[in-house]
Amino acid sequence: MPENENLQDRLRTLLTELMLIPGLSGHEGRVRRHIAAALRKLGLETTTDRLGNLIATLPGDAGAPSVMLFTHMDQLGFVVRKIEADGFIRVERLGGVPERALASQAVTICVGEGRDVAGLIANKSHHATTPDEKYKVVPYMDLYIDAGFASRAEAEAAGVQIGAPVVYRPQVLPISRTRIAGTSIDDRAGCAVIVEVARALLDQPKRPTVHFVFSVQEEFNLRGALTAAQVLKPDICIQLDLLLATDTPDMAYRGDVRLGGGPGISLYSFHGRGTLNGTIPHPALVSLFETASDTKGIPLQRSAHTGALTDSSYVQLVEGGVAAIDVGFPMRYSHSSLEVCDLGDLAQLTDLLVAALTAIDKDFSLDRDDWNDR
Ligand SMILES: [Zn+2]
């Protein structure tokens, strides 16, 4: 279908651009400017709140429930915690960093656009590795970054300071005609999809008011989107992020989400560790996406799991409650330097969201008594 191929091409271009821009939690400015420019090209005005969330509103039927469609711009990484006298750099972790996949990774120390410093997380020389070290994960506290400096003074002269953001070196690696590997697909893919949803909704005369929110600090504390929701006061929030793909040998027992199998919804999430929160979606929104999937012939995968959660957990608790659902695309190898997604899933997710959003009208009820809970 040519229309869908165009959509896939646009998604590939924007996703690639966004993956190559560093944006650690709390330092999303470069990503935000890029997305704001993309929205401006569509004719949408944007605002930025004090936390850094980027917001654009597309007005629609005032009688229909309003929607906040959101996704996060930030990525996980590190913060410089100490520069050693010999120029090696120690880091603090920011977000759910997989420590067993850190040694030997290339990183970017963000000191300013055009001046960023390349480095690598050192891995002890193999020839000197003892038998018991060979299968041991080195905690991040013991790792160090080699950025080519011979002294602390050299590092400081290059702009490296305590507090500087550090991310996996941004990279994009197409691994098939439709699959992309690379950094921070979580959640630049969600950002690219929302820009395309905005483009499609502009042409739809029948639509509810939709607030597009590109949020900050999700990987840090999962509450960045809250300030936007408190101001926008939506009736519905739809959150976009990855769904854990379970079609690899190590993940099969976790569920039934296939990369390339189309978009999906989360029926249950709970973090369980530290953060006692999660999202059980509003039945009206589950039904909305099931119906959109049926009428458009778009597959809809289902996910339920503990161990992760999204901003929607907090957004749903704003004011008298916001009807919430997590919608997403299958992704492999979450939080590693090379995550994998499928562009076909992103295109179908875009189409599914447009179909679901345009079905929200003045008769769309969020009254719990109108929905039979199972
Ligand atoms: Zn994410």
d(CA 166, CA 185): 17
As a whole number, mean pLDDT of residues 331-352 equals: 98
pLDDT of 253-272, one tens digit each? 999 999 999 999 999 999 87
Q: How far is the CA of 179 from the centre of ligand 1 (A)?
A: 18
Q: Is the pLDDT at 2 greater than 60, yes or no?
A: no
pLDDT of 212-240, one tens digit each? 999 999 999 888 999 999 999 999 999 99
As a whole number, mean pLDDT of residues 305-334 equals: 94
Q: Is the pLDDT at 1 greater than 90, yes or no?
A: no
- Per-residue b/e over 322-341, b at no fewer than 16 CB within 10 Å? bbbbbbbbbbbbbbbbbbbb
Q: How far is the CA of 194 from the centre of ligand 1 (A)?
A: 14
pLDDT of 172-216, one tens digit each? 999 999 999 999 999 999 999 999 999 999 999 999 999 999 999
d(CA 100, CA 140): 9
259 CB-near residues (< 8 Å, 6+ apart)? 179, 245, 247, 330, 331, 332, 340, 341, 342, 345
Structure tokens at 305: 């799991």
Active site residue 290: no
Q: How far is the CA of 282 from the centre of ligand 1 (A)?
A: 21
Q: Of 327, 344, 330, which Cα lies nearest the Cα of 292?
A: 327
Q: How far is the CA of 26 from the centre of ligand 1 (A)?
A: 15
As a whole number, mean pLDDT of residues 81-104 equals: 97
d(CA 163, CA 39): 31
Q: How far is the CA of 117 from the centre of ligand 1 (A)?
A: 25
As a whole number, mean pLDDT of residues 45-70 equals: 98
Q: What is the pLDDT of residue 41?
A: 97
373 pLDDT tier (thresholds 50, 70, 90)? low
* Average pLDDT score over the chain: 95
Q: What is the pLDDT of residue 276?
A: 81
Which residue is catalytic, options 28, 196, 218, 219?
A: 218
